[in-house]
Structure 1
Amino acid sequence: MPRNRTRPDHWRQRERRDKILVVIDAEETERQYLEQFKGKSSPTIPHVKIVTKNKDPLTVVNHAIRLFDSGDFDEAWCVFDEDDYKDGGTFQKAIATAGKRLRLAVSCPCFELWLLLHFEECGSELNQKEARRRLRKHLPDYDKSALRCEDFQPHQADAIRRARTLDAGHKTNHQNPSTGVWRLVERLSGTGSQY
């Protein structure tokens, strides 16, 4: 008698995982931090493609739009900092251009704020130099070009809580200090909803 070659139902009913594009503005810190979310396998964790466009925020957003328009992704995120771009208008143009098509994980003033929130509250305005100085109190050998994710993973829930608190305390988006990286981290780890 021939064997039944049909697969069990649970094999055929694999859940479809979303494909998420993340375009970042820097090759070092942001990429190293976000790489920890790639390659994890779970129905709730999306496939992630990280692309670096080491340029100003508007260029990052326009690049993300071009890639997203290819139809290969279910959603697209841009990760960039306020840093040196707020006064030149590029920062606000990038936010306006992203509109509702792209999701933003913007840090004001810098990505180091997100890293700092893993260890402490941060309620007053700061600059990149101050953020790095305070981060080195917790990680004396902090080097943005050699980030160790294991330093941050145990404190991720604290960083998310602190970033949410900052958001709730601002009347408008993208005020210093603030970071939207928490939304992206929740999405990539499968713990947050689609935003």
Structure 2
Amino acid sequence: MARDNSPKIRQIKHLERKLGRRASYERILIVSEGSKTEPNYFEEIRSTLRLHTANVVVRPGELGTAPFQVVHYAKQLFLEGDRHRNIQRLAFEQVFAVFDRDDHKNYSNALNAAGLLDGTPRNDNRQLIRFQAIPSVPSFELWLLIHFENIQSPINRHAVLC
């Protein structure tokens, strides 16, 4: 009869698959007002940090560019998913709606709508999700400019776009 310390038993124990020690990444959905600048920026961050596309999904808002429309599309994409873009319903722990302050009339409505959604819907793991609006005041392009250029004088947001 083989002893517990026989070479075969030691080899089996050595070859057994070890349990993962690191927690898996949270799944994040980012919906932006812009169709180019914001998605490209967030995709570059995702790529630089080597985050898998299954964990971070960046989509431009498809219902319009008004802040309330961006929040509504983020909610819709989370709740219903999108089979054409391989986005499963309820598949995120965090949802972010990114939009500019600009001169939008429904800006405060969008902030309120996102605030009401925060911590209320549940994902496919039955966890409450974080739903947050990320407003860029006055615009995302200005924010990018001041992080990559040394600007020490006032600048109009329209001048940034030129």
**C-alpha displacement at 1:98, in angstroms?**
0.8
Aligned partner of 1:36 in structure 2 is 44
Shift of 1:32: 1.1
- Aligned residue for 1:71, secondary structure, equals coil
SS across alignment from 2:43: helix
Q: Deviations over 1:72-119 (max 9, x none)?
A: 10011111112241xxx2212111111151222211221111112212
User: Are positions 1:111 and 2:111 aligned together?
Assistant: no
Q: Is the 8 A contact 2:61 2:74 kept in 1?
A: no
Give the SS at the match of 1:117.
Answer: helix
Give the Cα separation in 1 of the matches to 2:33 and 2:97.
Answer: 8
Gaps of 5+ in 2: 1-7, 80-88, 119-130
How far off its partner does 1:129 sit? 1.3
Query: How large is the Cα RMSD of the aligned pairs?
Result: 2.6
Q: Does 1:131 align with 2:160?
A: yes
CA–CA separation in structure 2 for the residues paired with 1:64 and 1:113:
24
1:96 paired residue number: 112
Q: Give the secondary structure class of the aligned counterpart of 1:79.
A: strand
> Structure 1 stretches (4+) deviating beyond 6 angstroms?
none
- Change in Cα spacing, 1:122 to 1:27, as seen in structure 2 (3 Å) is farther
What are the ranges of 5 or more consecutive residues in structure 1 without an aligned counterpart? Answer: 134-195
Query: Could you say which residue in structure 1 is the equivalent of 2:83?
Result: none
What fraction of aligned residue pairs are identical, expressed as a percent?
28
**Which of 4, 24, 32 pairs up with 1:24?**
32
Q: Which has the higher contact order (CA 8 A, sep 6+)?
A: 1
Letter in 2 for 1:48: V
Structure 2-normalised TM-score? 0.64
- Alpha-carbon distance in structure 1 between the residues aligned to 2:141 and 2:152: 11
Please give the TM-score of this superposition, normalised by the length of structure 1: 0.54
Q: Deviation per CA, 1:110-137, whole angstroms, max 9, x where unpaired?
A: 111111221235685x54213345xxxx
Which of these two proteins has the greater Rg computed from alpha carbons?
2
CA distance in 2, matches of 1:72, 1:25: 21
Q: 1:72 aligns with which of 68, 91, 105?
A: 91
Change (3 A) 1:19 1:90: same
2:58 maps to what in 1?
A: 50
Q: Partner of 2:141: helix, strand, or coil?
A: helix
